[in-house]
Amino acid sequence: MQAVEPVALPLGRPREERADAARNRAHLIEVAREMVAELGADKVTMDGLAERAGLGKGTVFRRFRTRAGIFHTLLDEEEKLFQQRVLAGPPPLGPGAPAAKRLVAFGRARLEFLVEHIVLARASLDPGQPVPARDSPSLFHVQMLLSEACPDEAASGSLALQLVAALEGPVLLYLRAQDGDAPDLGAVVHDLIDSWQVLVERVCG
């Protein structure tokens, strides 16, 4: 008789987050947000967050793992709000405008979002690690709009990848720059917004 390899069977639905864990998470995020606004990101520590939140250090470490994890979580929360504007906000950023106009509006809003949260973005970087890829929602959205605006050019997916790189790449480079070497971000973003509109209009023209 031929041996049959054992098959792992699913053990049911994943357990949902316990109510007390969810409350602790929401409390930690709110306290961390307050500390960043009050003290600046460079003054926020794991120990300080635990003390101010009134929770054990172990709870904070289990939730965030590293100090950079605090800011990564805060940035993710802001990212969710941004994505909601993209998916359900008013046009032209949200649904209801032609695809090319939505692409222009998305680029402007995305750059403004990155600048607004540049402190969190920089603090979320782990020293010695590459800049994390945070653009999956951006890539999906740009690909969707390109497929509507210019389906032939967008078919391979390469164009969307190149556009997202052109949109977010310079800002990511700024994140890694030393303060003395960093360019004027306001000027960079102004130029990028203008260039993004030109690029989209020519690609979709």
Residue 44, number of CB atoms within 10 A of its CB: 22
Whether the Cβ atoms of residue 112 and residue 137 lie closer than 8 Å to each other = no
How far is residue 20's CA from residue 62's CA, in Å, rounded to a whole number?
14
Q: In 66-178, which residue ranges form alpha helices assigned H by DSSP?
A: 67-88, 99-116, 118-123, 136-149, 151-154, 158-176
Give the pLDDT score at 6.
41
Give the pLDDT score at 30.
96
Whether the Cβ atoms of residue 145 and residue 137 lie closer than 8 Å to each other = no
Give the pLDDT score at 165.
85
Whether the Cβ atoms of residue 31 and residue 49 lie closer than 8 Å to each other = yes
- Going by pLDDT thresholds of 50, 70 and 90, the confidence category of residue 63 is very high
**Domains contained in the chain, CATH given:** 17-65 (1.10.10.60), 68-203 (1.10.357)
- Going by pLDDT thresholds of 50, 70 and 90, the confidence category of residue 178 is low
Give the pLDDT score at 14.
45
Smallest Cα–Cα separation from 119: which of 40, 38, 33, 32? 40
Kindly report which listed range (23-32, 55-64, 105-114, 183-192) carries the lowest average pLDDT score. Answer: 183-192
Smallest Cα–Cα separation from 35: which of 126, 129, 123, 131? 123
Task: Convert the pLDDT of each residue in 18-54 to its tens digit.
Answer: 788 888 899 999 999 999 999 999 999 999 999 999 9
pLDDT: is 184 or 46 the higher one?
46
Which residues have a Cβ under 8 Å from the Cβ of 193 and sit 6 or more positions away?
A: 107, 108, 111
Give φ, ψ of 10 to 5 degrees.
-65, 145
Tokens encoding 191: 């130029």
pTM given for the model: 0.77
